[in-house]
Structure formats: structure tokens, C-alpha cells
């Protein structure tokens, strides 16, 4: 019983947990133990490695463009495009 519990405690992170922790990880908000489990999973899971890269890119994009500026020329181009569709 004790062995089982210890085994469970040391279970590697699963992908679902990874997704839940990824924003905290990128914020540097994960405690050391969690971060180690997180990075151990990262080393073994291609899916989560790709997911982390996507999240990094997404967050980088958000930081670069905090607000989509209202752009009259873009709006005009969109209106023209819609008109062409009809």
C-alpha cells in the first residue's frame, strides 16, 4: 500500500496537467518541484514540446501587438473584399 502511494506520487506529469501548467510555467510562476516535473515531461513528449512552442509564439505575438489598431485602409480593403464576394 505504501509502495503504491509513493509510486502514484512520483507519477510523471500527464499531458492534461501540462496544458494546465503551461501558462504558469511561461510566467515563471511554477514552484521548483512542479517545474522539474514539467520539464521532465517536456523532454519525453513531442506533443507538449510543440504545444509549448505554440504558446510561446502566441504570447510573444500578444506582447508585440497589445492592441490591433483600427486601420481605415484595412477596413476599406475588407469592405471591398466583401463586395467582391457578392
E strands, the chain, in order: none
Helices 46-64 and 15-27 pack at an angle, to 10 degrees, of 30
- Asked if residue 45 binds Zn ion (CB under 5 A), the reply is yes
Considering the complex, what minimum distance in angstroms separates the CB of residue 3 from Zn ion? 26
Q: Residue 26 in contact with residue 59, Cβ under 8 Å? A: yes
Nearer to Zn ion, 19 or 79 (CB): 19
Phi, then psi, of 15 in degrees rounded to 5: -60, -35
For Zn ion, which stretch binds (CB under 5 A), given 4-12, 23-31, 41-49, 61-69?
A: 41-49
- Asked if residue 15 binds Zn ion (CB under 5 A), the reply is yes
Binding residues vs Zn ion (CB under 5 A): 15, 18, 45, 48
Amino acid at each position: 500500500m505504501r509502495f503504491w502511494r509513493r509510486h502514484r506520487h512520483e507519477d510523471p506529469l500527464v499531458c492534461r496537467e501540462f496544458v494546465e501548467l503551461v501558462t504558469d510555467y511561461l510566467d515563471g510562476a511554477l514552484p521548483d518541484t512542479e517545474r522539474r516535473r514539467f520539464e521532465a515531461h517536456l523532454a519525453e513528449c513531442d506533443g507538449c514540446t510543440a504545444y509549448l512552442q505554440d504558446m510561446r509564439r502566441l504570447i510573444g505575438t500578444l506582447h508585440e501587438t497589445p492592441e490591433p489598431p483600427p486601420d481605415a485602409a484595412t477596413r476599406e480593403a475588407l469592405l471591398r473584399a466583401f463586395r467582391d464576394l457578392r
